[in-house]
């Protein structure tokens, strides 16, 4: 039986970035996952008016699932974490929730370990794990841009090469932003 009062209380904690007294973040995330795992969370959040922090709430539930599944696969997870320099399952926080996705357990732990080791920022980790566009998706995006900007394919190629150069050069990027604000 789902304790909706407890789920709502936990959602309020997540929205406020807090955890209940006497609990660690890991314990809280696991308990939130166990209380809400049978609820279609996105639908429940929309119906109860909690849409402003939906990604944070959904990802906290996902962190709880990862921690819960890690307890079941403790040998595999602990072996991996020991190789990464951790003594056990590390204490997580609300910052880490932005890393998790619906992928394999170890893939999530790779991203979490990379962040906790201060190898990369959350943005760098998430950008490095994005899949490349399929040829059909590239073609649709090119067609959309040519239609919206009313330019030819040659002009689009010129524009993309310039934007590529601007993205790689911070000074160029800053200069362009200043010019656009004029």
pLDDT digits (tens, 9 = 90+) for 101-117: 777 888 888 888 888 88
Over the chain, what is the mean pLDDT?
87
CA dihedral 21, 26, 29, 35 (to 10 degrees): -80
Give the 3-state secondary structure of residue 62: helix
| Distance from C-alpha of 156 to C-alpha of 11, rounded to nearest angstrom | 46
- Residue 84: its pLDDT value, please? 87
**pLDDT tens digits, residue range 129-142?**
666 666 777 888 89
Helix boundaries (H) for the chain:
4-16, 25-36, 41-48, 54-72, 74-83, 105-116, 122-128, 135-149, 153-168, 170-181
Q: Which pLDDT belongs to residue 75?
A: 86
Q: Is 55 exposed, middle or buried (0-12, 13-18, 19+ CB in 10 A)?
A: exposed
Taking residues 55-84, report their average pLDDT. 90
Question: What is residue 3's predicted lDDT score, i.e. its pLDDT?
Answer: 86
Is the Cα dihedral 87, 107, 54, 128 positive or negative?
positive
pLDDT per position as a tens digit, 26-61:
999 999 999 998 988 888 888 888 777 888 999 999
């Amino acid at each position: 039986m789902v304790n909706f009062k407890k789920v709502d209380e936990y959602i309020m904690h997540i929205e406020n970035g807090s955890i209940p007294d006497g609990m660690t973040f890991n314990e809280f995330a696991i308990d939130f996952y166990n209380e809400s795992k049978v609820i279609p969370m996105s639908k429940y959040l929309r119906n109860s008016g909690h849409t402003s922090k939906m990604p944070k709430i959904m990802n906290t539930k996902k962190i709880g699932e990862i921690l819960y599944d890690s307890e079941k696969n403790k040998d595999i997870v602990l072996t991996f974490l020991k190789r990464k320099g951790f003594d056990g399952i590390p204490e997580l926080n609300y910052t880490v929730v932005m890393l998790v996705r619906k992928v394999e357990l170890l893939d999530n732990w790779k991203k979490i370990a990379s962040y906790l080791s201060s190898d990369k920022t959350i943005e760098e980790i998430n950008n490095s794990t994005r899949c490349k566009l399929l040829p059909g998706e590239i073609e649709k995006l090119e067609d959309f841009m040519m239609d919206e900007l009313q330019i030819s394919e040659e002009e689009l190629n010129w524009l993309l090469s310039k934007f590529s150069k601007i993205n790689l050069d911070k000074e160029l990027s800053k200069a362009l932003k200043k010019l656009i604000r004029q």
